[in-house]
């Protein structure tokens, strides 16, 4: 699996592994998420569409989004089972957004997670429908599979996810991203808008939904929002840096695409070194929000460190 974690990529100066073994934690959570995703979709008639949905959903990946959702549920003192259906749904939505993003009408990419993209295998028509199928199923899955959570919390999570992925979130960010391609006058404000919406909104709702399902207070939600917004932006800055510095083998997708597509990126404003410095500052600010939670927040601190230490 191209995107699985290893010890080398997660050891950082600020969070030595001796304090909290993030590698073991992520390996365990990844396995739990993989198993739950595998169980989530059966192949029935018409097999082609379920195959296409499963092809991208089961193609590996860090599973960072569901793991964040499970981690905040745990932080609030509840068992991860409460949040597993929502975690799976968030991965389904993330996957569908990438299937559509890779289409010839958008980024026209041939590789994702080290494999041919969905439309390269199944054709554009089925890839569009596989994305639609995953999006609709994600919401059905939360509503039908969540157990032992009061209904008002489930409704709140569904509403927040709907907002985060629609025109007020992912879709809006993608529109501005497409509009900005090839435009040399894109401002830093526009770049921030794109990433807060295209990547940040989903990461934020991943962090918040686990906490909401577990009964988080308004203060918890406020703190976790700031944590999520900061790691979301840092994640994107590092993504932009890796597009320049990493190889196709490391990334599992085409490298150097941003430059080729004349996309505005953080390194294009700040250069690579300053971009890394800005990302580190955001991670420090994110972790500061976790201070009141003590040792219980070790996973979220370590995940924040992992976001800037990652090589793919």
Does 171 sit near ligand FPP (CB under 6 A)? yes
Neighbours of 235 (CB within 10 A): 21
CB of 23 to Mg ion, least distance (A): 28
Of ligand FPP, Mg ion, none, which one sits near residue 159, judging by CB under 5 to 8 A according to partner kind?
Answer: none
* Given 107, 204, 289, 305, the residue binding ligand FPP (CB under 6 A): 107
Binding mask 52-91 for ligand FPP (x = CB under 6 A): ----------------------------------------
Report whether 234 contacts 286 (CB < 8 A): yes
Taking each helix axis as running N to C, give the angle between helix 64-75 and helix 201-213, from 0 to 180 degrees, rounded to the nearest 10. Answer: 30
DSSP 8-state symbol, 116: E
Q: Assign residue 50 a region (left: φ > 0; alpha: ψ between -120 and 50; beta: otherwise).
A: alpha
Region from 98-106, 141-149, 181-189, 288-296 binding Mg ion, contact rule CB under 5 A: 98-106
Structure tokens given for 12:
């950082």
Does 165 sit near ligand FPP (CB under 6 A)? yes
The terminus-to-terminus CA distance of the chain in angstroms comes to 12
* Given 72, 95, 117, 174, the residue binding ligand FPP (CB under 6 A): 174
Please state the separation of Cα 243 from the chain's center in Å: 17
Report whether 80 contacts 70 (CB < 8 A): yes
Contacts with ligand FPP by CB under 6 A: the residue count is: 17
Report whether 173 contacts 199 (CB < 8 A): yes
User: Phi and psi for 273 in degrees, rounded to 5?
Assistant: -65, -45
DSSP 8-state symbol, 199: I
Does 74 sit near Mg ion (CB under 5 A)? no
Does 97 sit near ligand FPP (CB under 6 A)? yes
Does 240 sit near Mg ion (CB under 5 A)? no
Does 198 sit near ligand FPP (CB under 6 A)? yes
Report whether 118 contacts 125 (CB < 8 A): no
Q: Could you give the CA distance from residue 219 to residue 100 in angstroms, rounded to a whole number?
A: 36
Report whether 75 contacts 211 (CB < 8 A): yes
- Residue 6's SS3 state is coil
* Given 34, 107, 240, 243, the residue binding Mg ion (CB under 5 A): 107
* Given 78, 91, 101, 239, the residue binding Mg ion (CB under 5 A): 101
Of ligand FPP, Mg ion, none, which one sits near residue 240, judging by CB under 5 to 8 A according to partner kind?
Answer: none
CB of 263 to Mg ion, least distance (A): 9
Of ligand FPP, Mg ion, none, which one sits near residue 97, judging by CB under 5 to 8 A according to partner kind?
Answer: ligand FPP
CB of 215 to ligand FPP, least distance (A): 27
* Given 91, 101, 204, 289, the residue binding ligand FPP (CB under 6 A): 101
Report whether 228 contacts 210 (CB < 8 A): no
Closest CB to ligand FPP among 27 and 171? 171
- Which parts of this chain interact with ligand FPP (CB under 6 A)? 93, 97-98, 100-101, 106-107, 109, 135, 165, 170-171, 174, 198-199, 253, 257
């Amino acid at each position: 699996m191209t995107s699985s974690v290893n010890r080398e990529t997660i050891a950082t100066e600020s969070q030595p592994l001796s304090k909290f073994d993030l590698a073991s934690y992520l390996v365990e959570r990844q396995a739990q998420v993989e198993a739950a995703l595998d169980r989530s979709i059966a192949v029935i008639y018409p097999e082609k569409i379920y195959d296409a949905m499963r092809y991208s959903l089961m193609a590996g990946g860090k599973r960072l989004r569901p793991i964040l959702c499970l981690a905040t549920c745990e932080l609030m003192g509840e068992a991860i089972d409460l949040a597993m259906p929502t975690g799976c749904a968030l991965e389904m939505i993330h996957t569908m957004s990438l299937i559509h993003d890779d289409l010839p009408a958008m980024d026209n990419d041939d590789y994702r997670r080290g494999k041919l993209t969905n439309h390269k295998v199944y054709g554009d028509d089925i890839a569009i429908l596989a994305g639609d199928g995953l999006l609709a199923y994600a919401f059905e899955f939360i509503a039908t599979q969540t157990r032992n959570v009061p209904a008002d919390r489930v409704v709140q999570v569904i509403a927040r996810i709907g907002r985060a992925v629609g025109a007020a979130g992912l879709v809006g960010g993608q529109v501005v991203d497409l509009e900005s391609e090839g435009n040399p006058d894109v401002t830093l404000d526009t770049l921030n808008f794109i990433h807060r919406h295209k990547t940040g909104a989903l990461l934020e709702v991943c962090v918040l939904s686990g906490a909401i399902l577990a009964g988080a207070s308004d203060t918890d939600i406020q703190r976790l929002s700031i944590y999520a917004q900061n790691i979301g932006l840092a994640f994107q800055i590092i993504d932009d840096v890796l597009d320049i510095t990493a190889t196709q083998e490391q990334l599992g997708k085409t490298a150097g695409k941003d430059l080729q597509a004349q996309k505005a990126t953080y390194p294009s404003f700040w250069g690579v070194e300053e971009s890394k410095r800005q990302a580190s500052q955001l991670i420090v600010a994110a972790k500061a929000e976790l201070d009141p939670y003590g040792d219980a927040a070790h996973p979220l601190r370590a995940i924040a460190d992992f976001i800037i230490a990652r090589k793919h």
